[in-house]
């Protein structure tokens, strides 16, 4: 009986779900003054709940490094809750895979690091129309680059404030 109820619940969820429900792009400024570009796709689950596949890339260099390359691939569970006529809030939490490669100024040595961490954030959305919204958000990617032992890690924080555009399908 439990399996039958579970099967009905899954079948109902899948019948409602199963489509890409939106996409977005944002410019992000890190607490470390880094500049980032973020893109994402939302996959509809049920009534306001989405899975979000997000890609974040650093587009600026840090003072401590000759070169730096940071990429983040994240999977978030999100829920969008209306809070007014054209306003909604979207909390998100999930997992992020961070890859970083740096060449230090002091030693000209290349260092790379990669890990998977818990991540969370929140966005405030303003609907311009049924299919278009502006948003402002905060995301803490939660990565400390453990292999960078001799480098001031506060220079490469992983907290981002973003502003962007969402398209709903």
State the Cα angle at 98 between 92 and 100, rounded to 5°.
145
Question: What's the pLDDT at 50?
Answer: 92
Question: What's the pLDDT at 8?
Answer: 59
Q: How far is CA 106 from CA 60, 99, 167, in A?
A: 19, 22, 44
Question: What's the pLDDT at 122?
Answer: 97
Question: What's the pLDDT at 58?
Answer: 85
Question: What's the pLDDT at 103?
Answer: 74
pLDDT in tens, the chain (169 residues): 555 565 555 555 555 555 678 999 999 987 767 788 999 999 988 888 999 999 998 887 666 666 677 888 999 999 999 999 999 999 999 998 888 777 776 666 777 777 788 999 999 999 999 899 999 999 988 766 666 665 555 556 678 899 999 998 8
* Domains in the chain: boundaries: 19-168
Question: What's the pLDDT at 2?
Answer: 56
* Sign of the four-CA dihedral 55, 59, 63, 65: positive
Question: What's the pLDDT at 10?
Answer: 54
Question: What's the pLDDT at 148?
Answer: 62
* 19-168: CATH topology: Porin (2.40.160)
């Amino acid at each position: 009986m439990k399996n039958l109820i579970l099967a009905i619940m899954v079948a109902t969820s899948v019948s409602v779900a199963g489509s890409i429900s939106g996409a977005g792009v944002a410019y992000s400024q890190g607490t470390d003054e880094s500049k980032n570009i973020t893109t994402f796709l939302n996959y509809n689950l049920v009534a306001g709940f989405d899975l979000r596949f997000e890609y974040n890339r650093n587009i600026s260099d840090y003072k401590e490094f000759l070169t730096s390359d940071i990429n983040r691939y994240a999977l978030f569970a999100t829920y969008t809750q209306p809070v007014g006529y054209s306003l909604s809030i979207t909390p998100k939490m999930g997992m992020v895979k961070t890859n970083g490669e740096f060449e230090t100024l002091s030693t000209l040595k290349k260092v790379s690091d990669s890990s998977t961490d818990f991540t969370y954030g929140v966005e405030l959305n303003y609907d311009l129309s049924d299919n278009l919204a502006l948003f402002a958000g905060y995301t803490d990617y939660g990565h400390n680059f453990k292999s960078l032992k001799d480098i001031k890690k506060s220079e490469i924080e992983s907290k981002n404030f973003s502003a962007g555009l969402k398209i709903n399908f």
